[in-house]
Amino acid sequence: MTRVAALTEIMMFLFVSFAALPLWAANQSGAAIPGREPRAAHTTAQAKSGEDGARGAGHELSELDRNLREAASLGDAQRVKALLQKGAGPNSVDKDGITPLMIAVVGDIERVRGIAVKGIAESWQKGLPKVIKAMKGDAATALALIQGGAAVNAATSRGIKALDLAALGGNPALVTLLLDRGADANLRAKRGETTLMVASAAGHDSIVKLLLARGADPLAQSQDGITAAAVAMLAGNMEIVKILTKATTPKGSTF
């Protein structure tokens, strides 16, 4: 796979975060995708421990759970708290594996999904900024869900987590909140994508710095052998390339 095709995989990962498209959409050429084992030991499988309380996968959501998702989408923290007290599930998932916490991080997720689907028909250069602009996550709502038992490392079938979505949206308050509450910056998505790659592709300098400061591995590779620096370079985010290069340069080096 070429580096450009690998970047396309990362970009499609961002779009699929919302569009919930089938896997074939990530490989529009139809060619087989060679895979390599990611270097880091962290995987989304590790995120499953302690999260067996998730419910709703493949099942109809209850009215309480649907109301909770609506409140999370609107950023209504007080209503979220009230619904949780009534028994709404903080880890309920829809057919796509989306949790209320993920919705709180995104905002109006149905609108963002629609923009993502249109973005796929355009190009990531045009579509991605529209997706990012549409994201209106709310930290107070996210905190209410976490305090009510939401699992911060819960992931969809593609391995997408709330932290990935917060990084994509470029919201430092949400990223900090999730990290403070136990989100793992080095958990991998299905094809080895990392949160740092997401932030690098999206062009969020401050989020990249924040993730690095909180232990994100700048040398981690996706299954296609692409690093966060490569993603940033191919996306034209050269300031992030400098940040990541500095993070991987040994101290005292004169090179």
Which is higher by pLDDT, 171 or 250? 171
Q: Which of 26-30, 41-45, 225-229, 235-239 has the lowest mean pLDDT?
A: 26-30
Within 13 Å of residue 244, how many CA atoms lie on the same side as its CB? 28
| % of the chain at pLDDT higher than 70 | 73
pLDDT at 4: 55
For the record, the structure tokens of 178 come out as 């999730």
Evaluate whether 128 touches 121 at the Cβ level (below 8 Å).
no
Which is higher by pLDDT, 16 or 206? 206
Taking the C-alpha atoms of 10, 12, 17 and 20 in order, what is their torsion angle to the nearest 10 degrees?
-150
Q: What is the pTM of this model?
A: 0.80
Which is higher by pLDDT, 48 or 101? 101
pLDDT at 251: 66
Whether residue 52 is predicted with pLDDT greater than 60 in this model: the reply is no
Considering only the top CATH level, what class is 3-22+53-248? mainly alpha
| Annotated domain spans of the chain | 3-22+53-248
- Distance from chain centroid for Cα 92: 18
For the record, the structure tokens of 86 come out as 């009534």
DSSP per residue over 165-211, as a string? HHHHHT-HHHHHHHHHTT--TT---TTS--HHHHHHHHT-HHHHHHH
